[in-house]
Structure 1
Amino acid sequence: MANGKQKIWVSDLIGNDFKRWNNEFVILDCGTACGKTYFCIRILGKYAAMRKRRILYLCNRNKLKNQTYKQVRDEKLQATIYVTTYQNLQNKIQRGEHIPHYDYIIADECHYFTTDAGFNDYTDVAYNYVMKQKESVVVFVSATAKSFFKYLRDTNKVRKKNSYRLDKDYSYVSKLFYYQSDELPGIIDDILANESDSKIIVFCNSGDRILEMSKIYGDNANYFCSRNAQKRLRDLCGWQVDANGKIIAEPSCIKNYSDDLITFDKRILFTTSVLDNGVDLKDRKIKHIFTEIVDVDTMIQSLGRKRSLAKDDTCYFYIRLYQKKGLQGFINRINYHLEPVELYKTDYEAFYKKYGDGKQRDRLNKNKIFYNLFKKKNIYGQIKVNECKFRKYSQDYDMFTSMKELGHKGYLEDILEESLTNNAEEVVCNVEEMDKFLLFLNSIEGKRLYEDDKLFIKEEFETIGLKLRYKGINTFNGALEDNYKNLYKCRFYDKDTNGKSYVDKRRVLDNGLPNPNRDKRYWILEDRTDIKKSS
């Protein structure tokens, strides 16, 4: 049950339709934890075994392949279902190896064809193979392949009756928050200070971001990346190689303690999108999931890595927002690769004049969509476009352009499920109330502020539309920085200028009465800009 509604599984949605599938394409556009793998292995797999038919099960990551193979082995279906990766299939095809016929092909996490096309030159090899299998039932499976599924439908590669959809169940998400890049450490610190044992996952958009966070959190966090990351990041994450560069040890931060406890031991895990699937984290202590991944499909995958164990196993989502300047940077980088390809497709003579024999010829050496260059003096030389890459770059260009026009948050509100966006924390400041709030701040400057005062201060922040989740010092100061910057220079401090914590040691108050706050910690709101300048 979720939100009072009976949960629908993939096997319920499909019913007995699968018995009538006959050499056609099928879409399973269904969220995480709704029984996609169960249907493919236990329902379709057993049906195929009974009829002596074979299934090729394609996965986009080795971890997912290993996880899937274990389930196949548990059901004793190894003779029926062959589990491999898209990458392995591509290698076999490129080596000219014979690929046997399969009656069914499960293209699991099929967003691979577009998502991985951004960095994998050969996604179209597997894609072309799958699309040419006219004597097989091909089942495209994903929770986050909206653009790819739209392409399959729009080009009539999948008939409407063969497109199955289940909305993602976000009933386990208590709240969605949006945040800015520089706010991340403050939010994390507040969680660590205010919650005793809850865990945090941060999906970073780059390896450099993980390295940046490692300077702050050091050994207090776990780190995870792919084997193809830069050496400094691999070393941080625990990859080890021998003298010949062969991998001899992988990161061991993800621990599989039991079927209901797959987790990391430290309170924070910083990871790239390599953890986007194949790893189902199960741990009630995982309460906060941050994603800084800008690609929407991959972002949604990252948010789904925690598997809820029960109705009360909830968590909070946090999505980093990108500003227009950053989004324009993405657009410029994409267009650098896209523009020559579009010219090649529409006007070859103009393309050759500009890139084939012109000053910008070297630009093609860096192009990530073309397969290879033609010979310099042969205008009709060989050049091939990776259509998967071209589709991915085109989709990304449209996505970032829309993000810039609508704003990142506005775009996400159009794309994400309403059950998520309707439960998002809005941050809207009222200018008139901000002026009143300044008067409040002026009234507490220089005064000792104890634990009981923090709730009152938090409530005052709400008068200007800032519904802060915590009442920690980093949260308050971050809110002041975001909304006032140089307009108001005072900040909250819990230590003096020598780094000594503020503790009230007064036995009696100025009025002669006993001090009820003796030995209690406190804050001071004051302006230290002159002190910082002189230091």
Structure 2
Amino acid sequence: MKVTDLIKKEYLTWKSGDIISLSAGTGSGKTYFVINVLAKQAKKNNELILYLVPRTKLKKQVLNRLKKADVTNVEVKMYQAIEHSIVHSEGDISWLRAYDYIICDDSHYFTNDALFNANTEDSLKLILSASNAITLLMSATGELLIKYIKKFYSSRSIKEYSLLPDYSYIQKLSAYQSEQQLYASVEWLVANNKKSIIFIQSDKKAYELYSKFKDNAMFVCGVSSKYKRYVDEYQIEQMIENEKFETLLLITTAALDVGFNIEDIEVQHIVIDMLDTDTFIQCLGRKRLVPGADEKVNVLFQNYNNNQIGGKLSMAQKNVSLGRQYYKVKAVKTEKHQRMSLNNMFYYDGESDVQINNMIYVKSAFNVSRFKKYIEQPKGFIKEIQRLLGYEDKVYVLDDLQDRQRELNILQKYEEVVYYSSKEAKVILQELNIKNAHYKVIRDFSEANKIFAERQYPYEFIVSKGYITDDIGKRKQTRIYTLCKTK
């Protein structure tokens, strides 16, 4: 089912001031509905539509679609332009009232970008103040935003439409742990001529990866990144026009995490390095399935460990703690020149009071709950990705598979080798360098046997009694250490 089938003719009953929530996965026809159904109806009524997007690449692609569909009553702007107008319009928002519909595409922008853009709350507030317009919030991951609106705009009614996403096209879901494994995986993709999209959270890390594989790759980052000069604008224009890229690899940051489409049957591998699972889902959705083709996609993602998640958890907890203190005392008096020393969750309202950015607070509280869940259960992040994608098969961490093969090779090398002292036999343990649950390298043969059994390695250390003859020909009893293969 597509969005147009879900809504049917109900859009004809929408009224000024209505907030419409459209929660549907990527490729479900949200943009198609706006351009081919809603815009045509609005044109009949001489109505104008404001179409808001969070990324410049997406803006260009939407404009391209509007041009192809010959739609003239839709104006496309970026959310950042709204935020800029708030600063420079001195409170005059009359221009916004010219629109009968305000479409907030990838509306999770308000919550997802809040932690590094303190203005998203302001743009949402301005948009919702246009009570003459019908506001349509569209996202595959907009759950938190709807909770926010229900909490802070409880007087407004929301009409909700929802389509469950379908990820059955994912053939294999795997994870990697280390940067070395990421590079090894990309080397495999290149060596085997596998066309792939690679999403990297850090623009620095993305550029370094691109530098290694630039003979086979194109690079995309945000317009404010210091690595912007390495982006080939012509390649991007061609990608926007054709919804395909010509290189073997597309290495990009979250600059392409929303809305933008790649419809190419040759792209069957996606690599994602994103901790925020909303962003993860958006990245995955950039690959659109070719209609009528039985496509399968292999997904490799970064598995964040507890230390990495713990750092993000601490930052989120700090925001939540400060927010609770604020709500407890209701207001904090300060001077205007002190604002720069405040946490970015707070701002000066121009009347000697400090106000809180509720969007940052809510997003931080949501992250605390999310990150704790990952840490408190084994393989928490992997389990969350499996849950989101409905993937029931086992997810293998490639680093573990490589370690497993390395360890089996070592065990095979020492199979049936006889040692007449524990010191000599421990050379095997030293080479294996296996760590126990307490991250200590095992030095005990019985502990090694337990781990071999847990990992289903067909080996065990056998300690037996035997005899050796010393230098003067005297026979004496000793312990014999042998690594034996089990049935």
Match for 2:178 among 181, 185, 192? 181
For 1:124-273, list aligned pairs within 5 A. Answer: 124-152=121-149, 162-182=159-179, 183-193=181-191, 195=192, 197-214=193-210, 216-230=212-226, 233-235=227-229, 237-238=230-231, 251-254=233-236, 256=238, 261-273=242-254
Deviations 1:235-259 (Å, cap 9, x if unpaired)? 3x23xxxxxxxxxxx6444363797
Tell me which residue corresponds to 1:369. 345
Residue 36, structure 1, aligned to residue 30, structure 2 = yes
Alpha carbons of 1:158 and 1:413: their partners in 2 closer, same or farther (altered >3 Å)? farther
Percent identity over the alignment?
27
Tell me which residue corresponds to 2:365. 394
Using the TM superposition, give the Cα deviation of residue 149 of structure 1 relative to its aligned residue in structure 2, in angstroms. 2.6
Alpha carbons of 1:439 and 1:69: their partners in 2 closer, same or farther (altered >3 Å)? closer
Match for 1:328 among 271, 285, 310? 310
- Aligned to 1:286, what secondary structure does the other structure show? coil
Tell me which residue corresponds to 1:82. 75
Using the TM superposition, give the Cα deviation of residue 85 of structure 1 relative to its aligned residue in structure 2, in angstroms. 1.5
Tell me the TM-score normalised to structure 1 length: 0.68
Alpha carbons of 1:444 and 1:41: their partners in 2 closer, same or farther (altered >3 Å)? farther
Distance of 1:281 and 1:482 partners within structure 2: 43
Alpha carbons of 1:363 and 1:206: their partners in 2 closer, same or farther (altered >3 Å)? farther
Alpha carbons of 1:333 and 1:52: their partners in 2 closer, same or farther (altered >3 Å)? same
Match for 1:297 among 272, 275, 278? 278
Distance of 1:85 and 1:287 partners within structure 2: 31
2:21–2:138 contact (8 Å) kept in structure 1: yes
Distance of 1:434 and 1:185 partners within structure 2: 18
Residue 59, structure 1, aligned to residue 59, structure 2 = no
2:339–2:348 contact (8 Å) kept in structure 1: no
Match for 1:22 among 3, 15, 22? 15
Using the TM superposition, give the Cα deviation of residue 383 of structure 1 relative to its aligned residue in structure 2, in angstroms. 1.9
Using the TM superposition, give the Cα deviation of residue 390 of structure 1 relative to its aligned residue in structure 2, in angstroms. 2.4
Alpha carbons of 1:363 and 1:442: their partners in 2 closer, same or farther (altered >3 Å)? farther
1:255–1:264 contact (8 Å) kept in structure 2: no
**Structure 2 unaligned runs (5+)?**
418-431, 444-487
The structure in which a higher percent of residues are strand is 2
Paired letter, 1:368: N
Using the TM superposition, give the Cα deviation of residue 74 of structure 1 relative to its aligned residue in structure 2, in angstroms. 3.4
Match for 2:395 among 420, 425, 430? 425
Paired letter, 1:201: I
Distance of 1:391 and 1:157 partners within structure 2: 19
Distance of 2:184 and 2:370 partners within structure 1: 30
Distance of 2:360 and 2:224 partners within structure 1: 19
- Aligned to 2:355, what secondary structure does the other structure show? coil
Distance of 1:205 and 1:213 partners within structure 2: 12
Distance of 1:128 and 1:434 partners within structure 2: 56
Tell me the TM-score normalised to structure 2 length: 0.75
Distance of 2:50 and 2:408 partners within structure 1: 66
**Structure 1 unaligned runs (5+)?**
1-7, 239-249, 375-379, 446-479, 489-535
- Aligned to 1:254, what secondary structure does the other structure show? helix
Distance of 1:322 and 1:42 partners within structure 2: 41
Alpha carbons of 1:373 and 1:219: their partners in 2 closer, same or farther (altered >3 Å)? farther
Alpha carbons of 1:347 and 1:441: their partners in 2 closer, same or farther (altered >3 Å)? farther
Match for 2:255 among 268, 274, 290? 274
Using the TM superposition, give the Cα deviation of residue 267 of structure 1 relative to its aligned residue in structure 2, in angstroms. 2.2
Deviations 1:80-100 (Å, cap 9, x if unpaired)? 322211111222232224324
For 1:524-535, list aligned pairs within 5 A. Answer: none
Deviations 1:33-86 (Å, cap 9, x if unpaired)? 1111111121111111112222221111222222223333333332x3222111
Residue 410, structure 1, aligned to residue 383, structure 2 = yes
Paired letter, 2:199: F
